[in-house]
Structure 1
Amino acid sequence: MAKLFISYSRKDSKAARKLIDNMKEMGHDVWVDWEDIPPAVDWLEQIFRGIEGSDVFIFLLSPHSIKSEVCNVEVGRAALNNKRIVPIVLKDVDHKSTNEIISKLNWIFLRRAGEYDTALARLKDAIELDFEWVDEHNRLQSRALEWHRKKEPSLLLRGRELRRVRGIVVGAMGKEPIPTQIQNHYLAYSNQNERRSRLLIMATMMVLFVLTMLVFYAIGQRNLAVENANEAKQNETIAIQNAEIAAINESRAIENEKIAKQSETEALESKREADAQRNAARAQIYQIQPGELYTSTLLAVASWTTSPSDESDEILRKNISLLPIPVKQMYHAGGVNSLEFNITGDLFATGGADGKACVWNASDGEEVFCATSPKSVNDAVFSPDGNFLVTGDSSGEVQVIRIEDGSIQSAYNAGTIVWDIDIGRNRNEIAVTRDDGKITILDLQTAERKYDLQVSGRIRIASFSPNGTYIASGSSAGVVTLWNLASGGNPITSGRHKGEVLALTFSPDSRYLVTGGADGNAVTARTSNGQELYRLLHEDAVTDIAFNPEDSSWFATVSNDRLIRLWDTPDGEERLRMSQGSFVRAVRVSANGQWLATTGADRTVRVWNAATGAEMFQIPLAGEGAVLGFGSDGGTLAAGDANGDVNVWDISVMPAPQDYLQFDELVGDVQFSAAGDWLAASDGPRIWLLNPDQLSTLTARTLGAPNLTVTGNVTSLVFSPDSNWLGISTDAGYV
């Protein structure tokens, strides 16, 4: 049997009486103000008591009850005590005018006679709950309210009763009614009082234990003191004798201490000089090793600070003249997603997760302007003429921004995430790569949509060929699609990768398309017909690809297998391989093809000699490297990391080789003639005689036939003083 409290307007008494009679017929105890308020008592307090003692609060909704001040007070009291509130609609009311507590509950409609039985059944379901928990909830509420009114600690729960109530509350988790705030406070103070009692008992026991131990300790100490007093008398005599000996030894020790300090000072000075000389010698060794200029500089600094010398001073002066010069460090509030230089190399742009696309001066790192987008800027590229910056963000917003003043020329919203932006060099068109598998082509000046290219699956990258004839995309399903924009027709589609396409780039002459995927393959295809020429397997995902801008003769790939590889474009032959400390994310080649820059998860930017693979610089970053780029003259390098830092360095101090030659095997020896008019070089058993004045006309891979082939591998070459004779020795013993 449930205890019900029915709140109604006096103007709805007839309907209320009928419902009360039905509830009593169901066996419920119904509290109603015309029956349960004794005369000459505070009627409102009695109503509050009736609400607090009820299991279910039923509110009869009508235009009269929602305006009744007493009815609204009763609703508030029921909500304060976390009572189950069941609204029953007698007559239609304005929902907005209804008490907020009632308006957010489900209503039972009893407006017409035909709804009565259905409404009565729903009311019965709403009332019949876990009455044991409701009874316990009411008892707990009554005890909590009594404690709250009197503030007597003796009214708090203790011992077995506290544990019982805690168990019931835990078991009723998720049931209605939920514990009220005052019940939670009551249980919390009861728990706190119980813990305080336990701690008091434990503390008392601990004090008794400590006092007992102190008594035993005091007795032991007294006995020990007696023994020590006897022993002290015996030792006093010995001490007098030892004092005489100690006085003699003290004078000797003082003299020895002076000698030791003097020796220690001389030893420390010798050690400092030896350490300084050793660091200076190591600095000289590292100074000539590729990529170890920072190590050499640190060793030279250590040598100078330990013991200054002309040798360390000379090393420092030379190293400082060769180190990359930090120009400036700038910041985005989130990771840097893109970085690109304009065609003249005097400006570069970055796009960040903070929703900003910023243009910076390459010479001093000063901000030209920052444009704001609604969400993360995923790409920002310059127009071929350098007059505009085009950005795309995760909200789908594409903006064409004037470089001269940072104002927005035009805009377009794709309605979905924009992952990549590219601009056709000769087409005055923008390719917008969208998350929904479309490439939208926009007019560069107006940002008006011209047409869409549809791809199966999601895509994140698309690119125009340098000559503007082709556009290619790579999808998350590994599909590479190539369109010929000049001839039209159906695109060439192929599933070149088993997994997402992560990188895609055309050769500078637009003859080749190379794609890299999560499957570890780099696939090269001919753009004229889409024919696959070869595929290059890596040990992990291929994350970026960059061509030699000068002649398309080679390209570089980087991978999560921590390797950087250089490949000959025509046949896919590997020409160089370098290693980095962790996953490599990005690679760029300088405009003259001499330098290669990489960055990634090892938090460094590394610059390599593209001809030899020698590491020239290793520059530390604060976060994982994400993007980077060279200025058009190769003398400026910029990089952005996952922390949002953007760094610019002047790397024009790097000594660039004037000419270089590539041999097929290990070079045995290289010698100039005394007059400098000949250069002799060996490769295994083969020997070339080269005219230094003609080296610049040779390519890196074509040397022609050797002048001489001998028995065994060449170990040494030497010219005669007059340059007319060349001496040769081999590992086979021939001279």
Structure 2
Amino acid sequence: MTTSSSLASDPDQAKTKLDVFVSYSRKDKEFVWNLCEALKQHNRRVWVDWEDIPPGADWRESIGSGIIAADTCLFVLSPDSVVSKECLAELEYAIQHNKRLIPVVYRDVNDSTVHPVLAALNWVVFRDGNDWQLALQTLLNGLDTDLAYVHTHTRLLLRAQEWDQKARNDCFLLRGHDLEQVERWLAQETAKNPKPTPLQREYVIAGRLIETKRQKLMLGSVTAALILSTALGLVAFRQYQIAEAHRQEAVVREIEALGFSSEALFASGRKFQALIQVLRAGRQLQRATWAKAETRDSVVATLGQAVSQIQEANSLVGADDWVSGVSVSPDGQLVAAASFDKTVRLWQQNGQLLQTLRGHTDHVNGVSFSPDGQMLASASRDKTVKLWQRDGKLINTLRGHGAEVWATAFSPDGQMLASTSADGTVKLWQKDGKLINTLRGHQGIVYAVSFSPDRQTLTSASADSTVKLWQKNGRLINTLRGHQGIVHAVSFSPDGQTLASAGQDGTVKLWQRDGKLRASLSGHTDRVYDMRFSPDGQTLASAAADKTIRLWKLDGTPITILRGHDGEVQSLNFSADGQFLASSSRDSTVKLWKLDNPLLTVLAGHGDDINSVSFSPDGQTLVSASTDQTIRLWQRNGKLIRSFGSGHGWVISAGFSPDGRRIASGDEDNTVKLWNLDGTLSRSLGGHQSWINSIAFSRDGQRLASASEDGTVRLWRSDGTPLTVLRGHQGDVFDVNFSPDGQTLASAGLDSTVKLWRLDGTVLASLKGHEGIVYRASFSPDGKTVASAGADHTVKLWQPDGTLVNTLKGHSAEVYSARFSLDGKTLASAGQDNLIKLWRPADGSLVATLKGHSANVASLSFSPDGAILASASSDDRVLLWHWQEFELEKLLEHSCAWLHDYLQTNPNVSASDRQLCQ
């Protein structure tokens, strides 16, 4: 394989790259032979193991190479292949490397026996006769979909694997134009499949880091040459212009490179590094007034993505080994960390290292602050507990355990200390060091202990797979069984009514105080080392060997995943005010995470696609409708008020009445439903013959309109009395909205038109111009403009008489929503490319691009005061954007505020980066 930097045209690579890898059962060999011959006749290069493995070659290595080299992996489904260990191994290898998969069926197979990844895809079904040719053409069309994108995925994977196999030698990295092309390809990944693999991202990031260094050297050389030529006066003004143009081009190329690098870092989960990288780009962009609008828009969008979604606030470094435990002082001013380098370190919250506490003679496993914050207790492998003053002075050493001490915990009143040990006991001490009691009963290492808020009960977690509850006098109350393997952590909720435990089985379990299991939270892919309740008891954080931290609601709903550590995450601790979370890791760092971002609020809780979102008239409440068959009401701060629904199918649309007292929903069961705010059903309106895509109230609240898959729009009185059926669309109607004066309706449909109607059902105008489905049509606040969103990737602006005013182009996929702000000065659009774009309707110029969703964005809603834009997505989340902050200067201010402590205190920050915000 060549080591040239070119990714596109290597002769050696052309011999290696394939169009199709085929996985099949030997019982289907005749069919597979015919299929492969047909593919070859259509100039497709096919890999099949009966002809492509050389004699003596390692079978699995050859199979793996065939999968990697193919653009598409074709799996022939049959009753034999779905249970074949070899076929499943090939499938898992393809999934691991994010290969494009196409399932092909010749012999019928039971759906329930098919791997879930294949079951979720569209199958190409082959039958004898004419259907065989039709199926072949369908397969060929699938192979040709996004062909250039998939080719690049395959070539990049081959190059990345070669680099990895060559000890990641820089000689194998991409550079120059080839690197820029791949970075642009990587930026498409949110909207296309197959997704890039972690190895591909690491490969591109490594190339960008080397290229950035080279460009900086080049920029320095160009600048030096410019200064020299000017100073000596040896060149003509034209030569000066050429040199300046080269300098400006070099600056822009570096800005773009930093932006692409940030995108790659963000996609790989390294959001903190992504923010720093794009902050560098933003600072240069401020000075590069010559940069084109495309460059500026791209960098601002990337900067907005990074700063609005970041949660890592600082990284505290200095430990020479694993950081095994972390604790935050009650006043939030200090962070203490226990390390395997036999020390405890104390930092200020801003990351300034205050001192290192030395005295233990072996690994320090854990550390905890007393409730008044004046004392620390550390637990060590040297079989001791040490008590320290806040200023680092050693107070006492507690001896008594017969093996290493794993953890300590103070009682809520600070008068007692509990310690756990590999000797199988929990010991209770007075704070002056006097031993009070020894709790025996576990049959293995005791890893964790926690006091109840009322100080009357303790709970302990052990390698014997149990959690035990004790009275403080040492009497065993209960033994909780449910984990499979070691229980690493246990903790009481702030109200003392719930107990959480975490273990080797990768789960967090929630128990009632009487020992009844309430919930088991699964999501981590490896053992869970620690979990903590937030001070308000509404959130649970868990830390695991899979290098992630997960945040959960107490009903088990996932909130978010925090990524950033490069090693197993071993310990967690919330600050007392709940404003930040500290974590420690085997990567020798402590990270501080802020749980609230001033630019973005995430509403998580739905279990499936969210189809619509809408603000209440006073702007303090939102309603969301989901495929999970529920309607949810939320406070503006993101807190869930209630969840309700009929349970009769998807809820596709929901909105408030103008007085804010009722909610109307459009459902899959062909009905419009009217709800009270307490979630009780007021009335169900029948009449449509298919599901309801959209509902809308007139501004005066006297009428309600509904649009349906049955091709009609229906008008109702607000009490549910039917008024008029509007017929005219040739196919499904996806949206309906009233004009501000309530006298006109706009509807959008499958027939590529927007229709404007009188209330009596008369068509006033049919707006034609979109090439494909029109998903949304809405009036501007003054009623003088209609905005339509279409499958042709555009938003069109129309006068009510049907005159096309402007076509807004910028989305790369179907546009599902377009909504005006209440002052009419901004239009937001969103769709299948996962992006939200903000436009000035007056001139059609793009204001900003908001990146945050990981799937289709189906619905948008501006708050009445214009401060917040809500977006609903198939990623099961509603995002609330402070959208007016998404312009370069404001985003740079937010970025610098977020990174202030890190840039000022982290010893690993370069001199140039330390000046980024000065």
**TM-score bracket for the superposition, by shorter chain length:** 0.3 to 0.5
Return the TM-score normalized by structure 1.
0.48
Question: TM-score, normalised on structure 2?
Answer: 0.39
Structure with the bigger percentage of strand: 2
Q: Which of 1 and 2 has greater Rg?
A: 1
